[in-house]
Amino acid sequence: MVGDPVLGLLAERYGTGARRREIPPEPDGVVRAMPVVLRIERDPLPGRTPLLEAAATAAVAVCLDPRAQPGGEWHDAVETWIDGRIRKIARRARGAHWRAVQDLPGVTVEVGGAEARALLPGPVDDVPKTVSRLQIGGTELEPDDPGAPPADTPLVLLNPHVEMSVGKAAAQVGHATMILGAVGGWPVADEPGVPRCAVRTPRPADWERYRTALERGGPGLVAVRDAGFTEVAPGTVTCLGVEHPG
């Protein structure tokens, strides 16, 4: 595992226990967000789990990209965003609209035929037209059965008691991978790119087991608590990040 100077900005905010430190509002009053574009063609539709895994990996990949490191062309934008609230807004695209967002700064990740592109974060009221014309809500994907997660892979667990749209879930799993990267580092890739993570919805009993371990200060566990802007109540634990699943 390796640390990262950009994600390190989050380390002082998130511990390995169940509580998180208060996040102050943006000092300059500018609300920033990372657009996460989900490729959802009419036919065939992507699998829900592969799409969420692509979104989760793409979000952390932007932060780990050399261009986001000190001295890189993305550094100021990424650092300013991470220093505030790590908001994400998921949008969906297909066809020509999907191809158009490939020209914007960001990272595309493909998992099992599903694709997501996390874009360079910026002010929410100054989004490129290529992005602003994309719908935020809409198409839903049926639950799937992805099987057991790969061994030695960071794992994100979605709260089985909370209903979330694909877009909402994509934003939440992206939060989880970033926090995991900040607290414990992220696996080193054997080849260019960022190693993928696994996303699963556990059985309620397994969810409670991980929640209990988190509350007891178990290492390698982080929680994502939503601010409550959309879909869920403020403070809802939407997902857990597990550095070393077992």
Q: Can you give the pTM of this predicted structure?
A: 0.92
Q: What is the pLDDT of residue 238?
A: 97
Backbone angles phi and psi of 55, in degrees to 5: -65, -45
Written as six digits, the tokens of 198 are 């696994």
pLDDT tens-place string over residues 222-241: 999 988 888 999 899 999 99
- In tens, the pLDDT along 114-158 reads 999 999 999 999 999 999 999 987 778 999 999 999 888 899 999
Q: Residue 36's pLDDT is what?
A: 98
pLDDT in tens, 17-53: 434 445 666 667 889 999 999 999 999 999 999 999 9
Question: Could you tell me the pLDDT band of residue 84, with boundaries at 50, 70 and 90?
Answer: confident
Q: Can you name the residues that pair with 38 across neighbouring β-strands?
A: 92, 116
Residues 220 and 243: beta-carbon distance below 8 Å: yes
Q: Is 76 helix (H, G, I), strand (E, B) or coil?
A: helix
Q: Which residues contact 97 (CB under 8 A, 6 or more apart)?
A: 130, 133, 134
Of residues 190 and 179, the one with the higher pLDDT is 179
Of residues 95, 106, 172, the one with CA closest to residue 134: 95
